Chains A and B, each alone.
Chain A
């Protein structure tokens, strides 16, 4: 089927997605389910630490708690976290546009959106590093600091891995590894990046708003 004769509509995207040979289709199915299940198990990992955080939080009368030296701990800086969150959520949007550009065979747009996503991801990590340096807490100093650094650290590590993953995908896409109909790697990368975003929604609520 001459794909290029179709215009870049959603039907064409769908047709390209379906035109692969049966072996690729099965492999894609298998890998997609495997990747989604991996993300599910990752959600459980975050959930357990979130449970621990909420449990410890509810076991003291006031939150933020008083640390072991009797000092009242402050709330987190909401304004800065809002800016940094917007950076991460923005990167989710640019990732979405990158994936859509690829599906519609707009390679130049794809490259631009991918670079934007990677830059925003790095900016978020920079923002988190800045926050780590300015928050008046330590990892081992209190349950508040312990939960905060463990959870945001795990999330930041996921973002870091995600940035490396996206750079790899960007290079691979430009070396012709993926085509208009075979692009499972990009799908997985997009899923992963959105997953990291969703986890941040939960963490943002739990640490800055709650």
Chain B
């Protein structure tokens, strides 16, 4: 940790430094092309919410199609595009931007006592790549949507409709954006922490963002390479993946999964971070095993690079690779299990307050653990050979991505909403939203396990219903799932209504409505432009409930003054 170096008395302070910039005055500078990480975070959240709704509606199209064995709601070709863009939109345009660009940008600099991220201009560029990439992705419907699923396996994707190239370009762009955000966060966390905030005093959300930044910076580039090669093959005929011309489809699977397996940790690690902040606050107890939870994030990130081929057990890759990848995949459950153990132990004997954020955090632990258990099943080669490409995999991915990441995002929304908007949300509606979501979520995705075990393949527009066990079994289960999914979609309306109501008529939020102990709660809601008038010194990790706050030199007027006086010279966020 760097030691504070005082400025030379009367010395000229250079305000052209990257991470200190004067407050913008124009509307465009303030809200559109803002350099402030908080504004950029909110921009990510708004765009992410928009793409969440679009991708969610595409999922409903899938469910309407599968209400009847013969389908018929949309044509089979359109259906292929619909599920491809549902997954692509949810993964790249919703979850990753929300958990890194959105909450990462808003909360992480506040938590480490910084005034902004390390490279605000890079941050601005990262964000503004994102909405055009999203429009390109969904715009591919206009010229023939990609139809090979979100994994776009060659040779189907090489011969796919023209929209596949647009898909490549869109995902390439969002990948570049993620890489830049990862780099930015990495430097911010390494170099810009408040004095005294050693690594083991960082909030766990910051640890999660550090691990995610590492993955974003390294793994996402691998995806960019794979996409660039696919684009070149499609547009210029350069042979990489087409076996007819010397290429190898398995090569794509290696390159794609070398990114896309770490990508599931890009999506889940920040959610682990949300949960690690919310549980101690609403259980009024120090987090159990701070170091264990912190270091397991890094362990997961590193191990995450060594397990990609467990997606490829049935691909025809070299058989000797199966055993090591199976064992490594099972090993990765150990650090994940340590986290779940730490969270559960945090709850033990706590004085639990059932706030909506806490409910979603508790729901997260339940459904994520269930998803993790099916993950262990899938990592085992013999089981995977049977489950591969069935609805069991669909069930598993939704348990960890919806039940994990999206539950985490919902928890984070309820937790940080007062900080971000300065308004309180309705708790009653929040509780309603939770129970509707939790019940309909399980009703939607739990039966998918049965479907998969009965042998229903994923990505089919029609299915034949001749199971010998019970007449119309596929149809009945599919209809049950579809109806549950409509309730699940409708439950999101409760959240949207709650948000709108809070913005229009919500109670004004105090600086620290939950009596939380991380730094962002020690300043006003919403925080002033410079975040902190004086950067505080940090004495301990923020989870010692019952002790005085471990911060020195917090300016008390930070809690009520939104505008630092112009004479109060901005000093570096760290020294």
Which A residues fall within an 8 A CB radius of B? 21-27, 29-31, 33-34, 37-38, 40-42, 44-45, 48-49, 51-52, 55-56, 59-60, 65, 67-68, 139-140, 142-143, 146, 149-150
Q: How far is the CA of A72 from the CA of B246 in the complex (A)?
A: 14
Q: Tell me whether B218 and A139 are in contact (CB under 8 A).
A: no
The stretch of B234-242, B420-428, B429-437, B463-471 in contact with A is: B234-242
Q: Tell me whether B191 and A48 are in contact (CB under 8 A).
A: no
Q: How far is the CA of A65 from the CA of B78 in the complex (A)?
A: 40
B86 to chain A, nearest CB (A): 27
What 0/1 pattern do residues 202 to 239 of B give for CB contact below 8 A with A? 00000000000000011001101110010010001111
Chain B positions within 8 Å of A27 at CB level: 17-19
Chain B positions within 8 Å of A48 at CB level: 221-222, 225-226, 255, 258
**B574 lies within 8 A of chain A by Cβ:** yes
Chain B positions within 8 Å of A21 at CB level: 7-8, 11, 14
The residue in chain B whose Cβ has the minimal distance to the Cβ of A31 is: B18
Chain A positions within 8 Å of B255 at CB level: 48, 51-52
Given contacts A30-B191, A33-B187, contact A22 B575 (CB under 8 A): yes
Q: A45, A51, A142, A149: which contacts B224 (Cβ < 8 A)? A: A45
The residue in chain A whose Cβ has the minimal distance to the Cβ of B218 is: A44
Q: Can you give 13 A-B contacts (C-beta < 8 A)?
A: A23-B13, A23-B14, A23-B17, A25-B5, A26-B17, A29-B191, A30-B118, A30-B119, A31-B18, A34-B118, A41-B183, A67-B246, A140-B238
Residue among B19, B236, B240, B572 with the highest chain A CB neighbour number at 10 A: B240
Q: A23, A51, A143, A149: which contacts B246 (Cβ < 8 A)? A: A143
The residue in chain A whose Cβ has the minimal distance to the Cβ of B217 is: A41
Chain B positions within 8 Å of A59 at CB level: 248
A40 to chain B, nearest CB (A): 7
Q: Tell me whether A34 and B8 are in contact (CB under 8 A).
A: no
Residue among A37, A49, A55, A67 with the highest chain B CB neighbour number at 10 A: A37
Q: How many residues of B contact A (CB 8 A)?
A: 45
Chain A positions within 8 Å of B258 at CB level: 48
Q: How far is the CA of A163 from the CA of B280 in the complex (A)?
A: 54
Q: How far is the CA of A40 from the CA of B217 in the complex (A)?
A: 8
Q: Tell me whether A33 and B190 are in contact (CB under 8 A).
A: yes
**B459 lies within 8 A of chain A by Cβ:** no
B441 to chain A, nearest CB (A): 36
Q: Tell me whether A146 and B190 are in contact (CB under 8 A).
A: no
Chain A positions within 8 Å of B6 at CB level: 22
Q: A31-B18, A40-B217, A52-B240 are in contact. List 7 more A-B contacts (CB 8 A).
A: A21-B11, A22-B6, A33-B191, A44-B225, A48-B225, A51-B254, A65-B246
B368 to chain A, nearest CB (A): 29
The residue in chain A whose Cβ has the minimal distance to the Cβ of B255 is: A48
**B25 lies within 8 A of chain A by Cβ:** no
Chain B positions within 8 Å of A51 at CB level: 254-255
The residue in chain B whose Cβ has the minimal distance to the Cβ of A139 is: B238
Q: How far is the CA of A27 from the CA of B246 in the complex (A)?
A: 49
Chain B positions within 8 Å of A23 at CB level: 7, 13-14, 17, 572
**B131 lies within 8 A of chain A by Cβ:** no
Chain A positions within 8 Å of B5 at CB level: 22, 25
Q: B183, B190, B232: which contacts A38 (Cβ < 8 A)? A: B183
Chain B positions within 8 Å of A22 at CB level: 5-7, 572, 575
B179 to chain A, nearest CB (A): 6
**B247 lies within 8 A of chain A by Cβ:** yes
Given contacts A21-B14, A27-B18, contact A142 B572 (CB under 8 A): no
**B91 lies within 8 A of chain A by Cβ:** no
Residue among B226, B246, B247 with the highest chain A CB neighbour number at 10 A: B246
The residue in chain A whose Cβ has the minimal distance to the Cβ of B11 is: A21
Chain A positions within 8 Å of B19 at CB level: 27, 30
Residue among A21, A23, A40, A149 with the highest chain B CB neighbour number at 10 A: A23
Q: How far is the CA of A23 from the CA of B571 in the complex (A)?
A: 8
Q: How far is the CA of A29 from the CA of B18 in the complex (A)?
A: 12
Q: Tell me whether A150 and B191 are in contact (CB under 8 A).
A: no
The 8 closest A-B pairs by CB, nearest first: A48-B225, A140-B237, A22-B5, A44-B221, A143-B246, A146-B238, A34-B187, A41-B221
The residue in chain B whose Cβ has the minimal distance to the Cβ of A68 is: B245
What 0/1 pattern do residues 250 to 269 of B give for CB contact below 8 A with A? 01001100100000000000
The residue in chain A whose Cβ has the minimal distance to the Cβ of B243 is: A59
B219 to chain A, nearest CB (A): 8
Chain A positions within 8 Å of B226 at CB level: 48
A31 to chain B, nearest CB (A): 8
The residue in chain B whose Cβ has the minimal distance to the Cβ of A147 is: B240
Q: How far is the CA of A59 from the CA of B239 in the complex (A)?
A: 13
A18 to chain B, nearest CB (A): 12
Q: Tell me whether B236 and A140 are in contact (CB under 8 A).
A: yes
Chain A positions within 8 Å of B119 at CB level: 30, 34
What 0/1 pattern do residues 546 to 575 of B give for CB contact below 8 A with A? 000000000000000000000000001011
Given contacts A33-B190, A49-B229, A150-B229, contact A24 B239 (CB under 8 A): no
B121 to chain A, nearest CB (A): 11
Given contacts A30-B191, A34-B119, contact A55 B254 (CB under 8 A): yes
